[in-house]
């Protein structure tokens, strides 16, 4: 299988590390857009898929390479699904500087007296072969859990220390990397993206199962030709 180089339309080192490991089975090399001098794209839309597509097209257009973008966020039930696409900048709404630690701090402050702790982490991956690719590959992963009352664990990034997963009785930050990647929203999306890339970009047409079409027209009777 030939190696494939993709520009990752993100400057988040945590995302780069996770996705590089998840996409390794395909021999994919991810290059962070910042390493190519590509500025971040604008994200004017209110859905993950629209923003991910905008970022992927921007990176492909600027680099001349295929691109992969991830738009992910936290959707809290008690906040009507917010912060959603504004997750990365959540803390700035409350006077804090942008950053994972401040995001967690602001979230816990806003949920101090909230009984409904249900939330979901959502990841939307979009890959394009070119900026004008009419057939972008789209993979979505979603994990539901609860917001913990305080940060627990030292692994991961983002909201991992407060994203409690009932099935494991742990936050994502408490899980070993391989366990988190196997069960996270980004892990789900990455596995689906691997399938899509393999099917759409890496599998030669008809290589897996050559077509055997039946002969056209009526079948001649046994022992002779069909009558006119």
Residues contacting 126, CB < 8 A, separation 6+:
49, 52, 53, 55, 56, 68, 69, 70, 71, 136, 137, 138, 139
- The residues annotated with a catalytic role in the active site are 71
Residue 28 to residues 25, 42, 82, 112, 214: CA-CA distances in angstroms? Answer: 8, 26, 33, 43, 39
* CA angle in degrees (0–180, nearest 5) for 134-140-146: 155
Task: Report the phi/psi class of residue 60: left, alpha or beta, with left for phi > 0 and alpha for psi in -120 to 50.
Answer: alpha
Task: Report the phi/psi class of residue 81: left, alpha or beta, with left for phi > 0 and alpha for psi in -120 to 50.
Answer: left
């Amino acid at each position: 299988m030939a190696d494939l180089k993709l520009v990752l339309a993100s400057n988040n080192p945590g995302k780069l590390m996770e996705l590089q490991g998840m996409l390794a089975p395909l021999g994919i090399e991810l290059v962070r857009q910042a390493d190519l001098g590509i500025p971040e794209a604008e994200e004017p839309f209110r859905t993950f898929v629209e923003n991910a597509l905008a970022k992927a097209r921007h990176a492909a257009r600027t680099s001349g390479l295929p691109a992969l973008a991830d738009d992910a966020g936290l959707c809290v039930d008690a906040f009507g699904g917010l912060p959603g696409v504004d997750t990365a900048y959540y803390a700035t709404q409350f006077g804090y500087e942008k950053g994972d630690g401040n995001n967690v701090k602001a979230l816990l402050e806003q949920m101090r007296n909230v009984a409904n702790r249900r939330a979901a982490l959502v990841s939307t991956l979009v890959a394009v072969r070119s900026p004008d690719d009419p057939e972008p590959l789209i993979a979505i992963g979603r994990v539901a859990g609860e917001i913990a009352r305080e940060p627990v664990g030292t692994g991961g990034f983002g909201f991992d220390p407060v994203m409690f997963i009932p099935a494991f009785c742990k936050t994502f930050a408490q899980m070993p990397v391989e366990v988190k990647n196997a069960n996270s929203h980004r892990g789900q999306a990455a596995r689906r993206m691997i399938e899509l890339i393999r099917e759409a970009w890496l599998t030669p047409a008809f290589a897996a199962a050559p077509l055997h079409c039946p002969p056209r027209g009526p079948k001649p009777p046994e022992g002779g030709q069909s009558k006119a």
